[in-house]
Structure 1
């Protein structure tokens, strides 16, 4: 039996996932959490084989939380679940230690297979993502502007694109406002843009944030 911890801040999503997984004989939901803090507590208390975690949580950045989980529980596979397209967040999640990445729009088709795959020590990526990675390695795809950003720069970029002020970004990331401003300057230069408005339009156009 594969014991699952479902982590998502939307009750309707958690209930939908539990309903879908309950139909499988070899999978059961052992716990559910609505934020990162609750997830870490449950990992201490219960036997969990696979973590199915939303990329966007209210109290923690998903990729930062993923790295903490892999540091504390390196043996536990984490499947990242997100509404964002794989080509934008999938590779970053895998680099941060995820065992797989599943788009919420195709979860009904992909999630069961992904859970079984990572529970046995494998990694799961969709056919579409595998093809994109193959093209990229072979030089068939050019790098998108945001793909040149470091993990921290990408995090700041997403927050700016969501309309969050620099001072609030600094507080949330425990950085000085000067440091965040420096990140913003680097982001604009790397992406060859001049303003926050351009960043926001780019993020919306590429489905990096919800419009």
Structure 2
């Protein structure tokens, strides 16, 4: 029996996944979460075999959440199921410790196959994203400007684009306001943004929010 935790901030998505897994005799959803804090809390007292994780949720999410989970549970397979189909986001997730990454536009059979693969100790990368990465590596496809950002800068870019203030970001990430402001200044310079509107416009165009 494969014990899963489904983590997604959309209830309809969680319910749909649970209905799908109920049709598979060796799959069992033993926990569900709608934000990063719930994921971390449930992992402390719930035995699971695979974590099916959305890339963007309220509070801690994305690379930060993946990294924290991987640091405490290095053997736990994490399969990212995300709306984001940008290669650099998938690369960041995998570098943070995810075992696999796929987008939400695939059919159920592909998802089940990906879960079985990572559950068996393998890795899975959405074929379209793998192609994007291969093209970028060969120089045939341009890289995203945000790839110049550090993991923390990229995380703060997304949080700023979501409308969070410096103080709110500092509170969620448990870092000082000054540190957040420094990261914001650096990412604005690297991305050649002159206003917060530029930042939000870019994030929307890239599907980061």
Superimposed CA distance per residue, residues 71-120 of structure 1 (whole angstroms, 9 cap, x where no aligned partner)? 11111100112222242421110010001112223263531111011011
For residues 66-145 of structure 1, the aligned pairs below 5 Å read: 66-106=66-106, 108=108, 110-145=110-145
> How far 1:56 sits from its partner (Å)?
2.2
Structure 1 residue ranges without an equivalent (≥5)? none
RMSD: 1.8
Matched pairs, number = 209
Q: Which runs of 5+ in 2 are unaligned?
A: none
Shift of 1:179: 2.1
TM-score when normalising by structure 1 = 0.90
Aligned: 1:153 with 2:153:
yes
CA contact (8 A) 1:102 1:110 kept: no
Aligned-partner SS, 1:105:
coil
Aligned: 1:31 with 2:25: no
Query: Within 1, Cα distance between the matches of 2:35 and 2:163?
Result: 22
Give the whole-Å Cα distance in 2 for the aligned partners of 1:59 and 1:187: 20
Check conservation: 2:148, 2:190, Cα contact below 8 A: yes
Give the structure-2-normalised TM-score. 0.91
1:60 aligns with 60
Distance 1:59 1:208 in 2: 15
Give the 3 Å change call, closer, same or farther, for CA 193–37 of structure 1 in structure 2.
closer
* Counterpart in the other structure of 1:16: 16
